[in-house]
Structure 1
């Protein structure tokens, strides 16, 4: 492969002029610029990213830490980030924690060692140790989905979305409403969605039996098992169930279909996430669309602003959502 010296010789210019074209810095006449670009294209020259990083002190890499790479939510987030970051000349380095708290800490340290220009964290379990490690990073940082103090955040209104779903059930005539949640260490999904549900029930003067409330994890099988426990343990079966994720809701629907419950006449179901599958199951699932691709784009814009301004300006953005009313309610 050609070197900068060889490209300069072939274009009959100095190495400094070639460097200016490669880095888009300094004045170069349009005629000379075209001549250099033509030589670069003919030789297939690719500048050394490592050498460029040494000169600019930028790796042009953003670390992205995800709780899982298996869901549509993660895919949409990354797609949105990539649209913005690639246009700005940045690459993404993905890290998958598989919902393990310790891995979040480990990847923060690893990405710092790799000298990424910034980190975007789709956080799940916010704890004191995680917050302390984030504060020690001293590089641009954005958290998605969980509010973390002293850093930029992209947030969803989980509390109000849960209230809206619960209100929809009530407006359809349901008073006995069950709930399938996740561990409350996940503040957004586990705590705020649960609080939104219970607050709305209380505001409407409706009680929730203990047997109607179950906890699962982030997969379909867990929703299946939780629905089974609600039905088996209830003296009076609820007429509706709110699951805090689409996967939990889809699992619940699977159990109900297998046991000859008609949806929504025997049991209404709603979830959160607007996954593609939610629109194709029988019946299509009522859910909340958080527009995750937009969240990814906004997170990328925040990290780029921090990098470009070389400061730690803190911004918090709460995104809108859409309640998609379908045939499961």
Structure 2
């Protein structure tokens, strides 16, 4: 196996010159750089990660904490994170909480014990214990998906995007709109999207009916069950807004099985663009939060912290409304 001493001998430079060139931490003449690079290319030399870690006190690994690995949102965010990490010569260590908010704190501690250089958390809550754990962490921690107090974070425009979609439904003639949401443990999806639904109906002087609201756990199956719960009441809606596309697929399946035509009998709108939603009929009318770009953006903020920028940043990610034919 080629060593750094072999590179120095073949390039006719000192070992320290090779080290300075590899670590970008000192002057090396252009001629020497070219000779070293030529030898590295010819020998396919790869520096030892463990040796590099000892020199730089960094492992080149970023911990990523997901609520659920299996969701479309998570996979797209991870694609964006991975793209940025590869561009910056980092590797990724994935963990998932299975929507258990206590595990968010546990995994921040665990990842630090594995000597990661930083942590990206796809957050599901903003409670004080989690904020305190992030603040006392020995490595930078950034949060995607929640507006986390005193923490560098990127949140989605959950309220504004939902208001826009409910307004769009109302402008298309729907007045009896039901709502399928998630528990309020999740401030962004659980609280803000529900609040936007209620506020928009109030603005149009429409009644808020509890029997037109049901809740799931982000899964397709829970969307199916929530739609069933809503349709069991005598006051049936002529449209439904679902807070995630995953649950919308389940809600749509229930309606189809029970011979409701979409959108002739019941219109449907949601948030999120999944691969599955593109292949169902009718195509869902939805909000695209551009999750891959969000993964890139949150990783960029972490890179800034790793490069010494320590000020807290709070950003709101962008979105766009896509018109399918489910309304």
1:135 CA drift (Å)? 1.4
Aligned-pair Cα RMSD in Å: 1.4
In structure 2, runs of 5+ residues without a counterpart are none
Q: Report the Cα distance in structure 1 between the residues aligned to 2:305 and 2:86, rounded to whole angstroms.
A: 16
For the Cα contact (< 8 Å) 2:112–2:138, is it kept in 1? Answer: no
Gaps of 5+ in 1: none
Could you say which residue in structure 2 is the equivalent of 1:29?
A: 29
Q: Which range is displaced more, 1-10 or 297-306?
A: 1-10
Contact map agreement 1:126 1:185 (CA 8 A) in 2: no
SS of the residue 2:271 aligns to: coil
Deviations 1:241-281 (A, max 9, x none): 11110011111110111111011110011111111222221
Equivalent residue in structure 2 for 1:321, among 313, 319, 322: 319
- 2:293 is matched with 294
1:155-211 Cα deviation digits (max 9, x unpaired): 111011111111112111111111111010101111100000001011111113221
Range moving further from structure 2, 162-171 or 51-60: 51-60
CA contact (8 A) 2:77 2:293 kept: yes
1:60 aligned residue: 60
Match of 2:194 in 1: 194
1:95 matched residue in structure 2: 95
Q: Quote the offset at 1:154 in angstroms.
A: 0.7
Alignment coverage as a number of residue pairs: 327
Where 1:236 maps in the other structure, the secondary structure is coil
* Conserved? CA contact 1:176–1:208, under 8 Å: no
Following superposition, the deviation at residue 222 of structure 1 comes to 0.7
Counterpart Cα distance in 1 of 2:70 and 2:116: 24
Relative to the length of structure 2, the TM-score reads 0.96
TM-score scaled by structure 1? 0.95
User: What are the Cα deviations for residues 216-261 of structure 1, in whole angstroms up to 9, with x where unaligned?
Assistant: 11111111111111111x1121111111100111111101111110
Determine if contact 2:68/2:97 at 8 Å carries over to the other structure: yes
Is contact 1:18–1:36 with CA below 8 Å preserved after alignment? yes
Secondary structure of 1:65's counterpart equals strand
Q: Distance in 2 between matches of 1:307 and 1:185?
A: 31
Tell me if 1:265 matches 2:264: yes
Distance in structure 2 (CA, Å) of the matches to 1:174 and 1:265: 11
Structure 2 counterpart SS, 1:271: strand
Structure 2 partner of 1:182: 182
Asked if 1 retains the 8 angstrom alpha-carbon contact of 2:174 and 2:238, the reply is: yes
Deviations 1:58-116 (A, max 9, x none): 22222111111112211211221222222122222211112112221111001111222
